[in-house]
């Protein structure tokens, strides 16, 4: 069977918009859209995602599988592995629920959007934004970083093949994180052991297999957070 296509654009509103259009016209699982620039890139929680030239602005279509909280963690694991296979000096961690971190700063993020036909899942569009050699807007510095400011120079195009292979190889029928994925996540878990002050107080204590974040209170009580962001020492 022919490989699903990788569609490249110089400028789009959002690669997520384009992948939803392709999906609505019947594009197969694994179809990819990459753009050099997005004019209306979106981030999680309704934020704008600045997407100038030089970054990787990428979306992939997933059909089948489950749209659960674990998905963006699985995507993060696949992407981090793919980048480190190319650039062994890169040491990436994952900050629940959807951030890729290089040291203390955010280098990328994942945004999953499901579309439904009645009660049935029609498809999932997975968006990935990675700061590679793009300029970062003043308002996101010092919390953000681009790969090329700390690592050997990379072109965003060179990441498309390895990341696509890793994402197309993700298991589609599993619910939640497998034992192997939980082990791999534990090694990359940026939040583990950090003090969480919102929405509950406690210490981040890993994730459940369904992707929920575990926060251990001072009294030892465990709270599992399903979605949203956490505040750690004044940061979200
Ligand atoms: C986050 O807030 O961390 C998620 C950011 C996701 C950004 C990517 S860039 C490619 C795709 N298209 C979008 O409009 N957003 C995602």
pLDDT digits (tens, 9 = 90+) for 187-200: 999 999 999 998 99
Residue 11 sits in the same domain as residue 99: yes
Domain of 221 in residue numbering reads as: 191-236
Condensed to tens digits (0 to 9), the pLDDT of residues 89-129 reads: 999 999 999 999 999 999 999 999 999 999 899 999 999 99
Distance from C-alpha of 50 to C-alpha of 85, rounded to nearest angstrom: 27
Cross-strand pairs, 12: 38
Residue 12 counted as domain residue:
yes
Task: Determine the atom of ligand 1 nearest the C-alpha atom of 44.
Answer: 2
Ligand 1 pocket: which of 43, 108, 167 to mutate (most atoms within 8 A of CB): 43
- The CATH number for 228's domain is 2.30.30.100
Residue 54 sits in the same domain as residue 100: yes
Residue 46 sits in the same domain as residue 106: yes
Residue 60 counted as domain residue:
yes
Distance from C-alpha of 35 to C-alpha of 7, rounded to nearest angstrom: 8
Per DSSP, the chain holds a count of helices (H) and strands (E) of: 4, 11
Q: Kindly give the pairing relationship between strand 222-225 and strand 56-62.
A: unpaired
Q: How many domains does the chain have?
A: 2
Residue 1 counted as domain residue:
no
Residue 113 sits in the same domain as residue 200: no
pTM here? Answer: 0.95
Residue 218 counted as domain residue:
yes
- The CATH number for 97's domain is 3.30.930.10
CA angle 62/65/71 to nearest 5° reads 75
Residue 138 sits in the same domain as residue 101: yes
Q: Is 72 in the pocket of ligand 1 (CB under 6 A)?
A: no
Which of the four pLDDT bands, split at 50, 70 and 90, describes residue 235?
A: low
Distance from C-alpha of 25 to C-alpha of 78, rounded to nearest angstrom: 27
Residue 178 sits in the same domain as residue 201: no
């Amino acid at each position: 069977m022919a490989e699903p296509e990788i569609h490249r654009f110089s400028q789009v509103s959002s690669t997520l918009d384009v992948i939803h259009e392709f999906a609505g016209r019947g594009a197969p699982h694994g179809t990819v859209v990459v753009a050099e620039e997005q004019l209306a890139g979106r981030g999680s929680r309704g934020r704008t995602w600045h997407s100038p030239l030089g970054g990787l602005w990428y979306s992939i279509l997933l059909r089948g599988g489950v749209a659960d909280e674990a998905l963006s963690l699985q995507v993060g694991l696949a992407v981090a592995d793919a980048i480190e296979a190319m650039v062994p000096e890169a040491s990436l961690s994952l900050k629940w629920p959807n951030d890729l971190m290089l040291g203390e700063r955010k280098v990328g993020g994942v945004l999953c959007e499901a579309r439904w036909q009645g009660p049935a899942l029609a498809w999932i569009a997975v968006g990935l934004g990675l700061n590679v050699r793009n300029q970062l807007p003043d308002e996101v510095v010092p919390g953000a970083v681009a790969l090329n400011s700390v690592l050997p120079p990379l072109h965003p195009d060179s990441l498309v093949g390895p990341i696509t292979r890793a994402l197309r190889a993700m298991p589609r029928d599993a619910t939640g994180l497998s034992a192997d994925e939980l082990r791999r996540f534990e090694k990359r878990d940026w939040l583990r052991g950090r003090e969480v002050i919102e929405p509950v107080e406690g210490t981040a204590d890993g994730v459940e297999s369904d992707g929920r974040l575990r926060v251990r209170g001072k009294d030892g009580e465990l709270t599992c957070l399903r979605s949203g962001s956490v505040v750690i020492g004044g940061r979200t």
